[in-house]
Amino acid sequence: MSQSALPVAKQTFADTEKFIRDVRERVATVVVGQDVVVERLLIALFSGGHLLLQGVPGLAKTLLVSVLSKSVDLDFARIQFTIDLLPSDILGSEVLDQRTNEFRVRKGPIFTNLLLADEINRAAPKVQGALLEAMQERKVTIGNETFRLPAPFLVIATQNPVEQAGTFELPEAQLDRFMLVHRLEYPSIEDEREILSRNAALGIQRQDRGAIVQTEFDVLEKRPVGSSEELVRAMEAVHHVHVSETFVEHVVDLVDRSRHHPAVELGCSPRAGISLIKASRARALMHGRHYAIPEDLFALAEDVMLHRMRLKYEAIAEGVTGRAVLQELLRSLGGSGAGA
């Protein structure tokens, strides 16, 4: 756990800092605010995890992912999940080539670097299952052939917390596959003002003999600020971030407490601990450190742990929220009792 390859990694750290700064600046040219979301996206990208964004429509989720993919020179695909979507619509299928009378594999949109699974809870469970299986195994079987997914491969799924009619809620076991679940908030007043003024400045784009009103997607800079090579170096740098034994103790303590809280029916799995450490390493790097500290743990605990905890029915009936329980767990860390 405690790899300290500092001499090797020093240059890598410096390069990565510049890469991260450039990406954040590029994203900021189109998306206002949402610094935390951008940070979470980069954490997922650098640490090879997947991210689920929960938020009401109109919070620039798609734009954010789109600009990120263009900033880092990654292939990007978007799938709008609907009730009639089939697994083959995502993974691909065998089609009969009538000229040769042979089956030919047609790869689906999952063969990309950055996949935006929009409104994942609208698809049937078998489609969700197919995607989540591919997310974990990073390979897809079509017919008799197995194909590896491109590297890096990151799924950013979105889920609307309202309008639950006609949706299929992801069960805990499948939510566990997402390293992070980030809950988007509305922008601040200042950010909202900036969004409106930027949008008002967008013009009209002439097209053929007519014209269309420009959107933020039309002004995305096509030229990437970072190459996939730089991304690989960033991933390596994350791997070199030091995780002390003390930090591991904090993680173990927190995960263990989540299993013994009286309001919690299902605590965090060991995968939560692994994800906490991976994500903390990436966050440490993004904050210019080559070692993880409790601040990383405190900052990421909600996104890593909340979707992995299930409260008891009695607690829910009493109005206890997962967020409140988690705050209590974080406050009690290191103490002798749950609420110390």
**Which of 273, 282, 225, 214 lies closest to 248 in space, CA to CA?**
273
Is there binding between residue 197 and other proteins (CB under 8 A)?
no
Residue 141 or residue 246: which is nearer to other proteins going by CB? Answer: 246
Pick the stretch among 96-104, 163-171, 218-226, 244-252 that binds other proteins (CB under 8 A). 244-252
Q: Which of 28, 86, 124, 293 binds other proteins (CB under 8 A)?
A: 293
Q: Which of 150, 299, 310, 316 binds other proteins (CB under 8 A)?
A: 299
Residue 211, beta-bridge partner list? 206
Evaluate whether 262 touches 338 at the Cβ level (below 8 Å).
Answer: yes
Evaluate whether 168 touches 124 at the Cβ level (below 8 Å).
Answer: yes
Is there binding between residue 183 and other proteins (CB under 8 A)?
no
In the region spanning residues 113 to 132, those forming contacts with other proteins, defined by CB under 8 A, are: none
DSSP assignment of 38-57, as one string? HHHHHHHHHHT--EEEE--T
Pick the stretch among 129-137, 259-267, 314-322, 325-333 that binds other proteins (CB under 8 A). 325-333
Minimum separation from the CB atom of position 32 to other proteins (A): 22
DSSP assignment of 89-138, as one string? HHHEEEEEETTTTEEEEEE-TTSSSEEEEETGGGS-HHHHHHHHHHHHH-
Q: Kindly state the tokens that stand for 119.
A: 């409104």
Pick the stretch among 15-23, 194-202, 266-274, 330-338 that binds other proteins (CB under 8 A). 330-338
Q: Which residues are CB-contacts of 332 (< 8 A; sequence separation ≥ 6)?
A: 257, 338, 339, 340
Q: Which of 239, 290, 307, 308 binds other proteins (CB under 8 A)?
A: 290
Evaluate whether 65 touches 154 at the Cβ level (below 8 Å).
Answer: no
Is there binding between residue 4 and other proteins (CB under 8 A)?
yes
Q: Which residues are CB-contacts of 298 (< 8 A; sequence separation ≥ 6)?
A: 330
Is there binding between residue 337 and other proteins (CB under 8 A)?
yes
Residue 7 or residue 166: which is nearer to other proteins going by CB? Answer: 7
Is there binding between residue 6 and other proteins (CB under 8 A)?
yes
Chain positions contacting other proteins, by CB under 8 A:
2, 4, 6, 242, 244-247, 249-250, 253, 290-295, 298-299, 301-302, 327, 330-331, 333-337, 339-340
